Chains A and B, each alone.
Chain A
């Protein structure tokens, strides 16, 4: 990717982000959908604590929502955006332009980063101001886990968006991700799950993202609820980095394949099919 395409792409991503902020449906879906639900939970849970630790339940939940925001934006919102862009002809438009596709991808990544940043900030603000949760005691860990978690999932999301044929397919592909959400220890301690489920959860980035974020926010008194009773930060780094590399290797050929196949007649056929259904 050359510097010009990257520059145009980042600007494009920012513009699309501002469009999303102006779209009511989008605002309701993403902001109220996650931040709103979290705020409601915060009010409902009050200041109950997890027995024997002095840690409020809200703090644990806040970290879970933070992990889920990154995961959901990268692996559900981003693929949906890619498929929608394909269906509406945005991808084809940029294919017809010199340097259009690299700029498009840079734009999509920028929008995803903006969404993650805004939602993360709102979740932490809600947790801290409304629920009395503490700020992280380990800011560097928070920063690198959020960043590496994003880098681990955004290319993967781009790959998923390139493979799935339609928006309905994205909806179906979301189901296992929701299952993962409940089994990866972000909303309930992973150690209450059967051991087999724990092993599956540990294969995916969501578990490690959550673990790293808990390390940044929660005191060591919470370690009893973790596998091996440790924050295992080197493992967090290694697994997330491995997913990042896998995504970066996987995404470019899949994106190239799907862009090469785009043409006006494919677009027309898809739109016709959409009208009929």
Chain B
């Protein structure tokens, strides 16, 4: 995929299974939005093969669109509409939409039903966007950086909502984020996109293993502080113990956190 003169995506190989919550994790500018826009059929790709619900997004017609839900980053549309009014209006496009009032309750906007959209807070607006994204009971939901600008409590609530929706309706969710903690908490599987390619893809545990940056082992020998960086600190510690024939003075093993590991990985690929 090239965008203007610069190639943005080089190797994005992904397979997302039905019913899973999948996050596409990466720093800003890694190509997450480009990837998701290609999948949504909003952007043409210059090369490669893409299939979403069995259809090439570049050729997706209305019947295909009806099976997708899309939540973008920057929606400020329909500001003059009422919250419930817009949900009812957009539900009319689908064959078997959610009941507007049930949907309002699910996203916690029952109290705001009669309110003008322009008066919603940022978090409420985002929850409305999710409600509008799922009003047609999509089989697949795309969320582009849905929790940017949320406080921790709003984020937690939002995660619960997405988990509930995926569990209840068997909906497949693809979500982009630049927050590792979010990906770790929410996703069944995560792919890390850095420098235009997928560097790692797997469950949170697999992810932790794959991105694990080397640990740092420090000790004191001959009155001087020594340190090595090693992918296998346990082996290093064993060798030190053998060499000292007992306790190692000042021994300290520091494994980088998942976050530090992730940042290291992203740094390598930027």
> A residues near B, CB below 8 A?
8, 11-12, 15-16, 19, 22-23, 85, 88-90, 92-93, 95-100, 103, 262-265, 267-268, 271
Q: Does B89 contact A (CB under 8 A)?
A: yes
* Complex contacts, B68 vs chain A, CB 8 Å: 96
Q: How far is the CB of B32 from chain A (nearest CB, A)?
A: 10
**Can you name 29 A-B pairs with beta carbons within 8 Å?**
A8-B89, A11-B92, A12-B89, A19-B80, A23-B80, A85-B77, A88-B79, A89-B74, A92-B42, A92-B72, A92-B75, A93-B132, A97-B93, A98-B62, A98-B93, A98-B136, A263-B43, A264-B33, A264-B36, A264-B37, A264-B74, A264-B144, A265-B33, A265-B37, A267-B72, A267-B75, A268-B33, A268-B73, A271-B74
Q: Known A264-B72, A265-B33; judge A19-B81 contact (CB<8 A).
A: yes
* Complex contacts, A12 vs chain B, CB 8 Å: 89
> B residues near A, CB below 8 A?
33-34, 36-37, 40, 42-43, 62-63, 65-66, 68, 70, 72-81, 85, 89-90, 92-94, 132, 136, 144
Could you tell me the distance between the alpha carbons of A89 and B85 in the complex, rounded to whole angstroms? 18
Main secondary structure of the interface of A (DSSP, over half): helix
Q: Which residue of B lies closest to A267 (CB)?
A: B74
Could you tell me the distance between the alpha carbons of A43 and B88 in the complex, rounded to whole angstroms? 46
Q: How far is the CB of B64 from chain A (nearest CB, A)?
A: 8
* Complex contacts, A103 vs chain B, CB 8 Å: 93
Beyond contacts A8-B89, A12-B89, A89-B77: 10 other A-B pairs, Cβ-Cβ < 8 A, are A11-B89, A89-B75, A90-B78, A93-B78, A96-B65, A97-B93, A98-B63, A99-B93, A264-B72, A265-B33
Contact A90 B62 (CB under 8 A): no
Contact A98 B66 (CB under 8 A): yes
Contact B77 A88 (CB under 8 A): yes
Q: How far is the CB of A96 from chain B (nearest CB, A)?
A: 4
* Complex contacts, B136 vs chain A, CB 8 Å: 97-98
Could you tell me the distance between the alpha carbons of A262 and B41 in the complex, rounded to whole angstroms? 11
Contact A264 B132 (CB under 8 A): no
* Complex contacts, B81 vs chain A, CB 8 Å: 15, 19
* Complex contacts, A23 vs chain B, CB 8 Å: 80
Q: How far is the CB of B201 from chain A (nearest CB, A)?
A: 23
Could you tell me the distance between the alpha carbons of A68 and B93 in the complex, rounded to whole angstroms? 36
Contact A96 B40 (CB under 8 A): yes
**Max count, chain A CB within 10 A of own CB: residue among B34, B63, B65, B144:** B65
Contact B42 A262 (CB under 8 A): yes
- Partner of A93 from the list B43, B62, B77, B80 (CB cut-off 8 Å) is B77
